[in-house]
Amino acid sequence: MELDGSVTHVAPVEARLRNLTYGSPIMLECSIVEDEKILESRFIHIGDIPVMVKSNACILHNLPDTKLIELGEDPKDPGGYFVINGSERVIIGLEDLSYNKIIVDTEEATGSLVYKAKVYSSIV
């Protein structure tokens, strides 16, 4: 939404240049039901969610290289990141051990099945 109240569609390159978040609104449909009849129904904006660049929800999805260049995007950019307040952000998965939990593992040793139990304890 612009300062004058108008709503415009923003491309990822514009979000980067204007320090905006490239996102999409989350709309909730609310209905008033009385005697199994809908009296009134409306959509309410409850927030925004960032859109991953080049995902199915992105306007750059499946555009030809010529159109990407027209929009100011790099055609070789693979996407897979978010633009938050003008900065490109990536979600990094992190796997960590659970402390004070028993982890049971099986192993084939000398033709028989061996069970191992490990506990990674944390000092508090």
Q: Is residue 19 part of a domain?
A: yes
Confidence of residue 112 (pLDDT cuts 50, 70, 90): confident
Range of the domain at 28: 12-89
Domain-located, residue 7? no
Please give the Cα distance from 94 to 60 (Å, whole number): 28
Query: For 65-92, how does the pLDDT look when each residue is reduced to its tens digit (9 = 90+)?
Result: 999 999 999 999 999 999 999 999 999 8
pLDDT higher than threshold 70 for residue 124: no
Residue 96 lies in a domain: no
Task: For residue 60, give the DSSP letter.
Answer: T
Question: Is 27 within the bounds of a domain?
Answer: yes
Report CA-CA distances (Å) from 25 to 22, 53, 75, 116: 10, 16, 26, 49
Number of domains, the chain = 1
Read off the pLDDT of residues 56-67 as tens digits, 9 standing for 90 and up.
Answer: 999 999 999 999
Position 65 scores a pLDDT of: 94
Both structure tokens of 54: 């080049």
